[in-house]
Amino acid sequence: MAILEIKKFNEPVLRKKCEKVKKVDEEIKKLIVDMAQTMKEEQGIGLAAPQVGVSKRVIVVQTDLEGRRILALVNPKIIKKSQEKEKDEEGCLSFPGIFLEIKRAKEVEVEGLDIKREKIKLKAKGLLARVFQHEIDHLDGVLFIDRISFWQRLKIRKKLQQRDPAA
């Protein structure tokens, strides 16, 4: 197991649409294990492969509040979203210290492959639904700052540039 480097907000890999995984092989399994370890170490509740510099459709998500159960999904996709939405605070390991109010579907249905190459489909609501939406957005090159207003984004960019002038 290895702790991977989290790519920050200004890294181009975060804006790329990720490639579909053709085969869940040993390389993908190792990536999943390393991502889970990295997420745990960084105290996150979700992590997408582009956040560790890998442009593949892989996410890991903490499914319980105690952090004991981590689910990996390969080629995940949202197949159904509730019409009902809710606004709540989100953070992102690629944007340390930034928390934003984001409006998302209250419930989702997600499908993908697990680490054993088996197709799984699950329903999620509340925080877990939010995490799935956030992480799957990453796979399409969409960041949570893309879901706020233009003026809010300007404020955030200013804050980020104060921390890192290269932003």
Q: Which residues are catalytic?
A: 135
Q: What is the DSSP string of 15-82?
A: GSPPBPPS---HHHHHHHHHHHHHHHHTT-SEEEGGGGT--BSEEEEE-STTS--EEEEEEEEEEEE-
Nearest to 4 by CA among 74, 73, 60, 67: 60
Strand partners, 121: 111
Biggest alpha carbon–alpha carbon distance for the chain: 46
CA distance 128 to 42: 18
Helix or strand run (H / E) with residue 157:
helix 150-163
Q: Which residues contact 74 (CB under 8 A, 6 or more apart)?
A: 21, 24, 28, 32, 57, 58, 112, 113, 114, 115
